[in-house]
Amino acid sequence: SLVGPQIVITRLRSLVDLETEVHVMSLKSKVGGTFRVIWISTAAKEGFYDLGLELSQAEGDMWKVRFSKSSATMAEPGAEAWLECQRCRQRLQTRVPEAAAEFLAEGFLISRPCERCKATTPWKISVDPATEAATGGPGRSKKSGKELRHEGRVPLTMQIKVLRDNFGLPYEDICKTANISRGGACFESAQNYVVGETLKVVIPYKEGEIGIPVPARVVRRDPLKGSPRLAVAIQLEEAAR
């Protein structure tokens, strides 16, 4: 898929290294270009690996698409993630405009400049250092950060919209996630949720954009210490099938 004039997300059967140069040709325009691999997902899906490519040099007008000024600058999505440099091991919480939120999970690797290493280095999805030491919190488990990563759950902050039914009357709950996995999410809310409750969720949600609600079910609710709010965990029904 085409993210912008410079970024392409695609899938390959073989896993390639970060910073690898590849040649891509548009089937529509028959024009090619040289790209470098800026991120990869080492977790295969149906035998394919997702990766992000950044255009280095085009041989002409590859896309035959008129990009708006906003798409040309690639406005950042709402998702944030903790990344860890694989060389110096420092961790940073940052936005990742090069990839959609769905790819920011266990196995994600991205090539980024590191100020401490003074070089472009590989970074992987990590966890908030406070999460590893915490014994509780919004949507957080008492398990270690390493155990959370093994479960495929990553700390990722994004806005979501929960659509609920109150005796036939629909109402919304706009929340922010504490962490997500391939099949669900955890978030904090002031509303009361019941385990087993069915609802729909738009994830990620950006005001003014049309999002497709996905059926989900509440699988856990925990009161937050010293707060009237709840930590709520939901499982996407599509992922449960």
User: What confidence tens digit (pLDDT) does each residue in 25-55 have?
Assistant: 888 888 999 999 999 988 888 888 999 999 9
Q: DSSP string spanning the chain?
A: -B-SSSEEEEEESS---TT-EEEEE-TTT--EEEEEEEEEE-S-BTTBEEEEEEEEEESS-SS-----HHHHHTPPPS-EEEEEETTT--EEEEE-TTS-GGG-STTEEEEEEETTTTEEEEEEE---HHHHH-S--TT--SS-HHHHHHTT-B-EE-EEEEEEEETTEEEEEEEEEEEEETTEEEEEESS---TT-EEEEESS--TTS----EEEEEEEEEEPTTSS-EEEEEEEHHHH-
| Interval 213-241 mean pLDDT | 84
Q: pLDDT digit string (tens) for 100-116?
A: 777 887 788 999 999 99
pTM above 0.85, yes or no: no
Of 88, 83, 79, 90, nearest to 39 by C-alpha is: 83
pLDDT for the residue 68? 61
**Closest Cα to residue 218, out of 241, 197, 203?**
197
pLDDT over 80 (residue 129): no
* Percent of the chain topping pLDDT 70: 80
- Residue 148: its pLDDT value, please? 45
Cα dist from 13 to 35, 36, 42, 47, 51, whole Å: 18, 17, 11, 6, 11
pLDDT band at 76 (very low <50, low <70, confident <90, very high): very low
- pLDDT value at 241 more than 80: no
Which pairs from 169-173 meet CB under 8 Å and 24+ separation?
Answer: none
Query: What does pLDDT average to over the chain?
Result: 80
Q: How confident is the model at residue 196 (pLDDT cuts 50, 70, 90)?
A: confident
The number of beta carbons lying within 10 Å of the beta carbon of residue 98 is: 22
Higher pLDDT, 192 or 140: 192
pLDDT band at 160 (very low <50, low <70, confident <90, very high): very high
Average pLDDT over residues 88-110: 84
Domain ranges of the chain: 7-73, 80-134, 156-240
Determine the Cα–Cα distance for residues 138 and 90; give it in Å rounded to an integer: 24
Nearest residue to 231 via CA among 144, 131, 133, 124: 131
pLDDT at res. 125: 86
Pair of tokens at residue 48: 């394919």
CATH architecture of 156-240: Beta Barrel (2.40)
